[in-house]
Structure 1
Amino acid sequence: MPEPIPAPEARPDVERLRGYSAPLEGRRGLLRLDFNENTIGPSPAVTEALRSYPADQVAVYPEYDGLREALIANLQASPAGLAHPLTIDQVGLFNGVDAAIHAVIHAYGSAGDTLLTTSPTFGYYAPCAGMQGMAIEALPHDLPGFRFPLEAMRTALQRRPKILMLCNPNNPTGTRVPAEQVLELAAAAPGTLLVVDELYEAFTGDSVLPKVDFNVHANLLVLRSLAKTAGLAGLRMGFAIGAAGVVDRVSRVTGPYDVNSLAVTAAFAALGDQDYTDHYVAEVARARDYLVSQLTQSGAVFHCDGGNYLLVWPRRSAEAVEQQLRSAGILVRGMAGKPQIDGALRVSIGTLEQMQRFWTTYAQLES
């Protein structure tokens, strides 16, 4: 066998990079309380739209006409509405919010620039910043209660980081930042792109969209998804909403057909059946109240704030409890090694019936 021809090394930033990974294999058929997904699946309207998709259209590049308008109409019709109308050039389409995050940092981050965020937070921000050679400044949450470090953030913004990434509510701590504070931070940071990751906003109602005017706060970009609420995590459908110039720059670094036709079809159907999504979100709220009540009565150490998840610290080894839950067909996410929450389990909230099943099993393991 001839000697292999060596490949070139990747860029130094990539060679140093530790990529984001998640244990996603072998999850089907189990109770998925580990990745904050919708736990029951999408609207029947989505299922029917996918079943009816013409086979010959699979050979055609996707078309996006009307999808931005459908999202804007959906946002306008929500109870909070929009204080200022959106136009289609203020909405970008992405292959999931992960792709939007990557595109934002690719478009605006350069070697030596700083990405500012909180800690702990969503684990994909750091690898994306590392790909660009950015420095990462992660501010710890204020304890007790994992409160947003507002004063530390104000001070850090004086150093003019290139990007501020805020997950609101924050995954995994549930930390919430009121819309007024988000706007205050944007106003105090000219030259910084403030990106608000609102994937879990529907479960607590903290969105900045009903209050922002992107003609004024042109340095603010909001990310939204149909994964956590509408159940489209497997199809990857994400949106970036902001000033037209910012959306344009972020969209320039993506492929022309990154969002596939089935995701577009499902998105139209999901946006057209908001009642289904609202019903699911309300069910999650009921299930969250139930689980919080059970945890409180048992004397468990836990933290619950925003989002469709909470943190619980088992009395025994978190790793052992996680494995025993998996053996019982229930998946949760261990937080081992994460600052401030090492030893905790993050438990996604599903339906009331699902959380009753979780609690029955968890309480037996803790007894």
Structure 2
Amino acid sequence: MTAPTPSPSARPDVERLRGYSAPLEGRRGLLRLDFNENTIGPSPAVVEALRAFPADQIAVYPEYDGLREAVIGNLQDSPAGLAHALLPQQVGLFNGVDAAIHAVIHAYGASGDTLLTTSPTFGYYAPCAGMQGMVVEAVPHELPGFRFPLEAMRAALQRGPKILMLCNPNNPTGTRLSAEHVLLLASSAPDTLVVVDELYEAFTGDSVLPHVDFAEHANLLVLRSLAKTAGLAGLRMGFAIGSAEVVDRVCRVSGPYDVNSFAVTAAFAALSDQAYTDHYVAEVLRARNYLVTELTRSGAVFHVDGGNYLLVWPRFSAQQVEQQLRDAGILVRSMAGKPQIDGSLRVSIGTQEQMQRFWECYRKLER
């Protein structure tokens, strides 16, 4: 019997890599409070637009005419607006922000370069950096309170990292960084690409976009998504906003048709119904206040700041409580093994009705 032929080896950087894995199977029919998603679904306008999608267009490569302008118009019409007008070539379109993060690191990171970030933070930054052979330097948040390590970050920038990746507000700690401090960091390191991942910005209003002039801060790039607020996580729609030169270089390493036609159609509809998104965000903030009140009243150990999520430390094993909640039809995310927050659960915030359901179940498990 012939021995099996071994598979070819990948690049050494990939062979050493531990890939990012998200436990996304078996979630249907459960209350999903584990991935910070919109918990009620997209605007009816999105659903109607997808139902009306012409069948013959499925066989045609997607077109993006007008979508960049729609993104700019949506940003300009927001309460804070934009500091300076944007041109279409300053908006990159991606198959979700995950693809944008990958493209940024692929375009700007080389083997031996440093990616600077905080710890703990979104788990996909490190694998993307590892794919390129980059070194990851993660500066811990300041305790108590998971405060942003501003002075330590300024000192680290003096060592010349290629990329600074900031999640603002930070997932999973909710740590917030003011636009003033984002611009301070960008100004202090003009040779470092400063990427601000603003997926959860709508829940805080801390965006740097109403304050930045990309002609002055050409090393700044802002990432946005329609996943967490507008409910398009399943269709993958992300944006990168910055100077035309940086956006061009990031887009060079992406496929020409990475964003599919359904996502484009849904994005147009979602951007045209901002009132729906604003209503959902307001409901999440009300529900968060409700849950914080109940947690405080019960004496629970928890942490909440920005974003549509909070951290709670159960009295019993976090893994045990996570499983008991799953058995009751409620999903949360264990933070086991993460620095500073080991033993906690990250709980996404949905509607007040959903958080009442979570609380009724959680408090029984804590008795």
1:162-241 → structure 2 map (5 Å cutoff): 162-241=162-241
Q: How many angstroms does 1:192 deviate by?
A: 0.1
What is the aligned partner in structure 2 of residue 112 from structure 1? 112
Cα separation, 1, equivalents of 2:215 and 2:87: 11
Query: Which structure 2 residues correspond to residues 33-52 of structure 1 after superposition, within 5 A?
Result: 33-52=33-52
| Whole-angstrom CA distance in 2 between matches of 1:4 and 1:313 | 49
Partner of 2:277: 277
Matching residue's letter, 1:41:
G
- Aligned AA for 1:294? E
* Separation of aligned partners in 2, 1:81 and 1:60: 35
> Within the alignment, does 1:321 sit opposite 2:325 as a pair?
no
Q: What SS is found at the alignment partner of 1:56?
A: helix
- What is the SS of the residue equivalent to 1:76? helix
Any idea what SS the aligned residue of 1:187 has?
helix
What SS class does the counterpart of residue 136 from structure 1 fall into?
A: strand
Deviations 1:313-347 (A, max 9, x none): 00011000000000000000000000000000000
1: CA distance between counterparts of 2:318 and 2:6?
A: 43
**Equivalent position of 1:93 in the other structure:** 93
What displacement does 1:349 show? 0.2
| 1:17 and 2:17 matched | yes
Residue 355 (structure 1) aligned with residue 355 (structure 2): yes
What stretches of structure 1 move > 2 A for 4+ residues in a row? 1-7
Q: Partner amino acid for 1:291?
A: L
**For each residue in 1:247-298, what CA deviation from the matched residue of structure 2 results, as whole angstroms up to 9, or x when unmatched?**
0000000000000000000000000000000000000000000000000000
Q: Helix, strand or coil: the match of 2:294?
A: helix
Tell me the residue number matched to 1:139: 139
AA aligned to 1:124 is: Y
Give the Cα separation in 2 of the matches to 1:2 and 1:220. Answer: 56
Residue 122 of structure 2 is aligned to residue 122 of structure 1: yes
How far apart in 2 are the matches of 1:201 and 1:112? 32
Per-residue deviation, 1:8:
1.6
| Residue number in structure 2 paired with 1:156 | 156
What's the TM-score, normalizing by structure 2?
0.99
- Distance in 1 (CA, whole Å) between partners of 2:296 and 2:170 is 22
What secondary structure, in the 3-state scheme, does the structure 2 residue paired with 1:118 have?
A: strand
Distance in structure 2 (CA, Å) of the matches to 1:32 and 1:2: 48
**2: CA distance, partners of 1:73 / 1:5:** 56
Query: Helix, strand or coil: the match of 2:115?
Result: strand
Deviation at 1:28, TM superposition (A): 1.0
Q: Which amino acid aligns with 1:246?
A: V
Superposition TM-score, scaled by structure 1 size = 0.99
Matched to 1:315, the amino acid is R
- In 1: Cα distance, 2:289 partner to 2:69 partner: 35
Q: Secondary structure at the match of 1:241?
A: strand
Q: Distance in 1 between matches of 2:47 and 2:5?
A: 48
- Identity across the alignment (%): 84
Q: Distance in 1 between matches of 2:298 and 2:7?
A: 57
- Partner Cα distance (1:169, 1:316) in 2: 28
Query: Which amino acid in structure 1 is aligned with residue 214 of structure 2?
Result: F
CA distance in 1, matches of 2:284, 2:41: 13
Matched, 1:340 2:337: no
Task: Please state how far the C-alpha of 1:2 moved relative to its aligned partner.
Answer: 4.3
Distance 1:338 1:361 in 2: 25
Q: What is the Cα-based RMSD across aligned positions, in Å?
A: 0.6
Other structure's SS at 2:100 match: helix
1:83 positional shift: 1.2
Separation in 1, partners of 2:104, 2:206: 22
Question: Number of matched residues?
Answer: 367
CA distance in 2, matches of 1:359, 1:8: 51
